[in-house]
Amino acid sequence: MPHHDIRELDSQAVRASVALVSRVTAGDLDKPTPCSPWALGELLAHMTVQHHGFAAAARGGGADPEVWQAPALASDPAAAYAEAADLVIAAFAEDGLLDREFSLPEIATSVTFPGRQAICFHLVDYTVHSWDVARSLGLEPDLDASVLAIALKIAEAVPDGPSRLEPGAAFGPGVAVPAGAGTLDRIVSLLGRSPAWPR
């Protein structure tokens, strides 16, 4: 995707997720999410630690399993999430980042990934998680069309099949894309969510 600033698009997706998470109250933390079986508080803990993990990977520390272990939910989850978002955006903005190799053990332990590809993984993840949080709250995410266009290309390239049924798989098996679906609905369908959730 040489004609797009993938770092800027990722930053936009992350900032949209921060705006949504800022609306989460203590009373929302037990709400179900499309990212089953996690409740909203568990999803926020996952989203927060993934930012820390990707930031560590950007700086050469991604092979350490500790950076991917979600701690107990923070007393102020929205603030902790916003801090983690700032951390990963800053890490991704460093000079030479796109040419670095990332260790991402939750995706594969036997290979590393070029910086540009790693950021693509991060972008599509936070596009989908923005949708997850929004749906849990009964809201719609505010994602730029340019972010969605790239996220759709990435989602279309994610392999489907039996591996998505394995424990710890990042996405469930793809579901049928509704006729006339918009770009975001197509993305979440490809990655195992029903656009009609919670129905």
Summarised one tens digit per residue, pLDDT across range 44-94 is: 999 999 999 999 999 999 999 999 998 888 999 999 999 999 999 999 999
Quickly state the pLDDT bin for 175 (edges 50, 70, 90): confident
Q: What DSSP assignment string belongs to 39-65?
A: BHHHHHHHHHHHHHHHHHHHTT-TT-G
Angle at 26 between CA 20 and CA 30, to 5 degrees: 90
Is the peptide bond prior to 77 cis by the omega test (within 30 degrees of 0)?
A: no
| Model pLDDT, residue 72 | 86
CA atoms within 13 A on the CB side of 107: 19
Q: Is the pLDDT of residue 147 over 80?
A: yes
Q: What is the CA radius of gyration of the chain?
A: 16
Backbone angles phi, psi at 39, to 5 degrees: -75, 170
| Model pLDDT, residue 164 | 62
Could you read off the pLDDT of 15-28 as tens digits, one per residue?
Answer: 999 999 999 999 99
Is residue 187 a contact partner of residue 175, using CB atoms and an 8 Å limit?
A: no
Is the peptide bond prior to 198 cis by the omega test (within 30 degrees of 0)?
A: yes
User: In whole angstroms, what is the distance from residue 7 CA to residue 13 CA?
Assistant: 10
Backbone angles phi, psi at 56, to 5 degrees: -65, -40
Retrieve residue 98's tokens: 């796109």
User: In whole angstroms, what is the distance from residue 157 CA to residue 76 CA?
Assistant: 36
Computed over every residue of the chain, the mean pLDDT equals 92
Domains and CATH numbers, the chain: 6-142 (1.20.120.450)
User: Which amino acid is it at 94?
Assistant: E
| Model pLDDT, residue 174 | 81
Quickly state the pLDDT bin for 159 (edges 50, 70, 90): confident
Q: Reduced to 3 states, what is the DSSP secondary structure of residue 1?
A: coil
Percent of the chain predicted with pLDDT > 70: 93
Percent of the chain predicted with pLDDT > 90: 77
pTM given for the model: 0.92
